[in-house]
Amino acid sequence: MGDERSSQGQVEPRLSPQLEELRARIRAGTHHGERFEVSVTDRELEEAVAWYLGRRPKIPFVSPRVFVHPHGVEARGEARLGKLHLGVGGQASVALQDGVPVVTIERLELGKAGLPPLVRSQVQAELDKQLSVRGDDLPVIFEAIDLQEGRLAVRGTIR
């Protein structure tokens, strides 16, 4: 089958059928306490990230590329800062803490150069701010996250 991503890394901003179905169940508000399981490929995760970014124009990141590995998630894309377009990338670990996913940046690059720890910590602080949620704020309770080569699977319960 091969990698269906284009050479520019462009993907269609959309949710996979599993993510759309989960979103519809959550929005209906009538599925409290129901369990869910969702599994997405690298490609589906890229599409979901593009969908999310398309709804948040203040986040200056486009052309997401996502690679799931058993030890973490690698992401690449383009940061647009005014007229300046910079290739960015990095790797993060993902873990659950009290039913909430916690993303920790382990490596951050601008082009092919690694960024110093101070810059990485500032980006981590901004990421933490953007992703800061308490368990009560999420419409779901995550019970497991499974990272496999090319696939991310989660399961939990709808609040």
* pLDDT given at position 30: 97
Q: How does pLDDT run across 96-147, given as a tens digit for each residue? A: 998 999 888 888 888 777 777 887 788 778 767 766 666 678 899 999 999 9
Work out the average pLDDT over 65-69: 98
8 Å CB contact between 38 and 18: yes
Q: Give residue 55's pLDDT.
A: 93
What secondary structure, in 3-state letters, does 84-138 show?
EEEEEEEEEEEEEECCEEEEEEEEEEECCEECCHHHHHHHHHHHHHHHCCCHHHC
Cα three-residue angle 11-59-91, rounded to 5 degrees = 70
The pLDDT value recorded for residue 133 is: 62
pLDDT value for 113: 75
Residue type, 76: R
CB 29 within 8 A of CB 156: no
CA–CA dist 103, 109 (Å, integer): 17
- Considering the chain, what percentage of its residues have pLDDT values greater than 70? 90
Domain boundaries, the chain: 17-158
pTM: 0.83
Return the pLDDT at 154.
98
